[in-house]
């Protein structure tokens, strides 16, 4: 699966994107984030605060409990502000 990182998530992880074979037991976005935290210090730092980083599955915003099965891309990005 292709994972894409934007803004400060990208800076903390140290890469813009990567393609990974995910474990079969990852069912939701939340499961994926928990698994990513365990991949190393940079991922733990990027996802340190639960609920801050947003996700999109195949370019559609997704909640933490959204299923990831069948997705080709999951993107992670910080909350946006504007004015």
pTM, to two decimals: 0.93
Residues in the chain where the model's pLDDT stays below 50: none
The residues facing 77 across adjacent strands are 54
Residue 83 in domain: no
pLDDT at 81: 57
Residue 72: give its domain's CATH number: 3.10.20.30
Residue 52 in domain: yes
Domain span including residue 58:
2-77
| Contact by Cβ (8 Å): 79, 52 | yes
pLDDT at 51: 86
The residues facing 57 across adjacent strands are 60, 74
Strand locations in 28-80 (E): 54-57, 60-62, 73-77
pLDDT at 79: 85
pLDDT at 44: 97
From the CB of residue 59, how many other CB atoms can be counted at a distance below 10 Å? 10
Residue 73 in domain: yes
Tell me how many domains the chain contains: 1
């Amino acid at each position: 699966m292709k994972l894409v990182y934007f803004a400060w998530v990208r800076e903390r992880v140290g890469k813009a994107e990567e393609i990974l074979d995910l474990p079969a037991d990852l069912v939701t976005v939340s499961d994926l984030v928990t698994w990513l935290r365990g991949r190393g210090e940079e991922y733990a730092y990027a996802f340190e605060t639960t609920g801050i980083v947003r996700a999109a599955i195949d370019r559609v915003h997704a909640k933490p409990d959204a299923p990831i099965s069948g997705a080709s891309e999951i993107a992670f990005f910080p909350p946006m502000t504007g004015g």
